[in-house]
Amino acid sequence: MWYHRLSQILCSTRHQLKGGFRLQALRYPCFQKRILAAPRWQHSAMGPLNGAWQQHEDHLELRYAGMVMRFDYVWLRDHCRSASCYNSKTNQRSLDTASVDLAIKPQTIRMNETMLFLTWPDGHVTRYNLEWLLKNSYEGQKQAVQPRILWNAEIYRQAQVLPVDFQSFLETQDGLKKFLQSFLLYGIAFVENVPPTREDTEKLAGRISLIRETIYGRMWYFTSDFSRGDTAYTKLALDRHTDTTYFQEPCGIQVFHCLKHEGTGGKTLLVDGFYAAERVLQRAPADFDLLSKVPLKHEYIENVGECHNHMIGVGPVLNIYPWNKELYLIRYNNYDRAVINTVPYDVVHRWYAAHRTLTTELRRPENELWIKLKPGKALFIDNWRVLHGRESFTGYRQLCGCYLTRDDVLNTARFLGLQA
């Protein structure tokens, strides 16, 4: 679904680019006098990808492989990959960007089938591979969305995603890769045949990431013993939510492993927050927009035994990248949402309405995936995307798990060649 929407955005952007080009020539009558050559398309020797460029007053317009790209001149100087500007051993910039004249323009531009050559006023030559420009341009980035399959219960069940075996997860690259692939696509993934101990659960987590230690400890291990000031430590039902919304950066991944349950109830609820948000975007785009713009606080206040904590995290419910509108983080926890004092009353009212729209989508029964966690079956949840909850329960129930740092999970995925 994301793909469709994004390709629509992309198409409209391309039209704007074409239109924008015509407009610019009209708006500036002295346009042609100020640059050396008339703004005509300069073509590379005819190749299959048919590149062409045009030099404008303040940017270079490049057409390549069916894409129109615009590059600011300072950008083109700043990203020079020559040995004196860039250390390709460490993949770090050596050039001091602050030393580049903000009014810099290339003296000459040349292009062949695969490369673009720019000579700067001081004689320095920058060479760009056209494929590199295609991939690294703003226009190119708009296409680079994270592949995802948004799901409701039906879609997830139909997909028949296979759990990965503990042994193969730990010992083979293939097992790990399969696991990460489905985790990235669906935002949840299971590992089976895990020995029901805290140590083995820790081993599991350590295979893909650094464990994120929080106020709950490194590995946590909890029952309904009221040991902490949070309803998770009771037998009560918990409505769908994401965790640690009260951190400036909510935990990226949550691992659950139920080590024991002698009693009834206690099923786990999973809801794809991105699926629900996409529905909001389609049905009520103004609500989506508001939820992505209004910053809110979430808060955790605890004074139980030796535990004294006061955490505050600020951010909108929906977090989107400004360049392609891709959703990357949902912060949704009605229990932990703090007093709203960052928004004027009329916006507050519209925000409540938008929150209701999202909540309605999140609560549709067809979007709910219910599973019973059992010893041996560990669940990884993308806490930036998938909401979890639980049914109330009776009896003794022991859950262990931990949070993972998102950067490190994605790092492992990229190392295995996955897009993350």
Ligand X SMILES: C[N+](C)(C)CCCC[C@H](N)C(=O)O
Length, in residues, of the chain: 420
Q: Is residue 379 close enough to count as binding ligand AKG by CB under 6 A?
A: no
Position 268 contacts ligand AKG (CB under 6 A) = yes
Q: Decide: is 382 part of the binding site for ligand AKG (CB under 6 A).
A: no
Applying CB under 6 A, among 336, 351, 362, 387 the residue interacting with ligand X is 336
- Alpha carbons 60 and 402: distance in angstroms, whole number: 49
Note whether 243 binds Fe ion by CB under 5 A. Answer: yes
User: Cα(195)–Cα(400) distance, rounded to whole angstroms?
Assistant: 12
Strand ranges in 293-339 using DSSP code E only, listed in sequence order: 296-304, 307-315, 318-320, 327-330
- State how far the Cα of 65 lies from the Cα of 50, in Å rounded to an integer: 7
Nearer to ligand X, 358 or 381 (CB): 381
**Is 337 among the residues that bind ligand AKG (CB under 6 A)?**
no
Residue keyed to tokens 């760009």: 128
Q: Out of 31, 117, 132, 220, point to the residue binding ligand X (CB under 6 A).
A: 220
Stretch that binds ligand X, among 78-86, 118-126, 214-222, 355-363 (CB under 6 A): 214-222
Q: Judged by CB under 6 A, how many residues of this single chain contact ligand X?
A: 11
**Range in contact with Fe ion (rule: CB under 5 A) among 58-66, 223-231, 238-246, 286-294:** 238-246
**Closest CB to ligand AKG among 232 and 338?**
232
Distance separating alpha carbons of residues 123 and 315, to the nearest angstrom: 47
Q: Taking phi first (over 0 means left), then psi (-120 to 50 degrees means alpha), and beta for anything else, what does residue 193 get? A: left
**Bridge pairing between strands 67-72 and 369-371:** unpaired
Among 54, 268, 333, 367, binds ligand X (CB under 6 A): 333
Tell me whether residue 126 or residue 268 sits nearer to ligand AKG (CB atom): 268
Does position 230 interact with ligand X (CB under 6 A)? The reply is: yes
- Decide: 39 and 31 in contact? Cβ < 8 Å: yes
Residue 147 is given by DSSP the state P
390 binds, among ligand AKG, Fe ion, ligand X, none (CB under 5 to 8 A by kind): ligand AKG
User: Which residues make up the interface to Fe ion (CB under 5 A)?
Assistant: 243
